[in-house]
Chain A
Amino acid sequence: MNVIQVESLTVCYQKPGLKRLTFDAVKQLSFEVHQGEVFGFLGPNGAGKTTTMNVLLGFVPPTRGAASLFGIDVRQPIARQRIGYLPELTYYYKFLTAEELLRFYAKIFSLPHAETDRRIDQLLKLVELEHARKRPIKSYSKGMQQRVGLAQALINNPDLLILDEPTSGLDPLGRMKVREIIQRLKNEGKTVFFSSHELGEVETVCDRVAIIHQGELKAVGRVNEITGQHASLEKAFLDIIGFQTTTAP
């Protein structure tokens, strides 16, 4: 069974204005993500990556087609029981400490008290925030906030992790730390589905990637297959989306 299954997914949004015009943010998208792999979801801004993620998370209903997590339709809240999600640039409740934040999310998953304590200790150690566990989140740096976000995504020990631009806005050190955590999760056998603009990073950690442009799937496969004749994934990506460079080589 595939962890993520997307079949002929189409999502239409209504354009703002009096005329009820619609546009397709995602068109006939099909792909699957297998157990234990790190899957990169690439595309330029406005390509439909976040819309696809929103469908997987049950935020947006598919207009046509279907999407499932662990074989359960994404519209069922139970489909989200085994996933962890890290959105891009989230500012968590400033008045809480990291420990209180994780305890709150653990309650939503109905984790027993002892298990919650154990997971909080384990996760704060993983994201290297043990020293700041009693400090309010408002005193955290951007990198620390992103790491607390990663910890909240892992509180239920998910089998699937959905990360939206996990290294966005982080300095090189912060990026490296997040990358290390993803690598460690991969080694633990977790499935990771993430979108990123950092193609070098994708090349390093991903097993397979999908490239989406203007709502359509342009390529899907192993990183070396996609890279093919090109020197790097970045060059392959630009070629696939049809970008013509204006500077002379």
Chain B
Amino acid sequence: MKNIFAVAGIVIKELYRRKDFYVLFILTVLVCLIMGSVNVFNDKHVVRYLKELCLLLIWVSSLVIAITTTARQIPAEREQRTLLPLLAKPLTRTQLIFGKFLGCWLACGLVLICFYIFFGALAASRDHAWPLLNYFQAAFLHWIALGVVVAFALLGSLVFAAPSSNSTISFVIVATILTLGRYLDAVALAQPEPFRSLVYALYYAIPHLEIPFEMRNLIVHDWPLIGWNFIALETLYLLAYAVAFLVAACLVFRRKPVN
């Protein structure tokens, strides 16, 4: 476990010493502040649009950070040849994969804390309310969903040769799941066999990230809290996918030549 935390610590250090996060954070802040300073249609509920936009930007930024940070981890270790002295020490490949995963996931958690604090402050400046538990539920499921994305991108970094191709493919797949994943069953119904079975199989095989994504509505429309049992079940469901991707990554990495 010590080795996993040591590797994770390096990933977190890398994130806060690079400029990616700061650029995305400043962009999000600027866009939200500019949008928040105008009321185009004199709509008294304009704060909802502002919150929706801000949460969407937080989702996009967090996905960009999660995917790009994860996608470059193992390829950079290979390219810079730091993988060699690392694996020449009493560190197993499985520990390295889990360390990289934990580091990227925790780094995403830190990023989300910054983003949600900004969001809370922005919303409170207009709404004069702090629905902290709603924010916690949304941010928590958001973080768990990023765990699936990080594990998926980590697996991709071992399958695809270049970090850029992995980032693009991962981003397209995650965006498709977030926007179209829930409609696959309806698509399946309209298909003849054997496509119907295939689409159904795909519907049940993909990790459904829609619930964490739609938690934005909980905050935007001031809906009541979701049951904690449901949050726990959703967490287990998503973590099962993250573990499955990690196990696959370990199996792929075990067969990969080091140099």
Contacts and interface: CB of A to CB of B under 8 A. Distances in A.
A105 B81 contact: no
Contact of B85 (A60, A77, A86, A109): A86
Interface size band for B: 20 to 34
Interface string A34-58: 0000000000000000100010011
B13 A96 contact: yes
A83 B88 contact: yes
Interface stretch (A87-95, A184-192, A198-206): A87-95
Contact of A104 (B10, B81, B87, B259): B10
A105 B86 CA distance: 8
Interface in B38-86: 80-82, 84-86
A95 B87 contact: no
B82 A108 contact: no
Interface residues of A, number: 34
Contacts of A104: 6, 9-10
A95 B17 contact: yes
Interface centre among B13, B14, B88, B91 (most CB of A within 10 A): B88
A152 interface: yes
B128 interface: no
Contacts of B87: 57-59
Interface string B83-103: 011111111100000000000
B21 to A, nearest CB: 13
B257 interface: yes
B152 to A, nearest CB: 24
A87 B85 contact: yes
A149 interface: yes
A57 B88 contact: yes
A95 B90 contact: no
Given A95-B17, A107-B2, A109-B90, A85 B85 contact: yes
A137 to B, nearest CB: 11
B85 A149 contact: yes
A176 interface: no
Contact of A89 (B13, B81, B90): B81
Interface in A94-114: 95-96, 100, 104-105, 107-110
A240 interface: no
Given A54-B259, A152-B85, A108 B3 contact: yes
B18 interface: yes
Nearest to B258: A59
B257 A60 contact: yes
A89 B259 CA distance: 13
A91 B9 CA distance: 19
Contacts of B3: 107-108
Contacts of A87: 81, 84-85, 88
B84 A95 contact: no
Given A90-B82, A108-B3, A77 B90 contact: yes
Given A54-B258, A108-B90, A91 B80 contact: yes
B2 A100 contact: no
A93 B82 contact: yes
Contacts of B84: 57, 59, 85, 87, 90
A58 B83 CA distance: 13
Interface in B160-218: none
A88 B13 CA distance: 25
Contact of B90 (A54, A59, A78, A96): A78
**Which 8 pairs of residues, A with B, have the shortest CB-CB distance?**
A85-B88, A107-B6, A87-B84, A59-B258, A95-B17, A90-B81, A91-B80, A57-B88
Given A58-B88, A91-B81, 18 more contacts: A57-B88, A77-B91, A81-B90, A85-B84, A85-B85, A90-B80, A90-B82, A91-B80, A93-B14, A95-B18, A105-B89, A107-B5, A107-B9, A108-B86, A108-B90, A108-B91, A110-B2, A156-B89
14 contacts: A54-B258, A57-B84, A59-B258, A77-B90, A77-B91, A85-B88, A86-B85, A87-B85, A88-B81, A92-B80, A104-B10, A107-B6, A108-B6, A108-B89
Interface of B: 2-3, 5-6, 9-10, 13-14, 17-18, 80-82, 84-92, 257-259
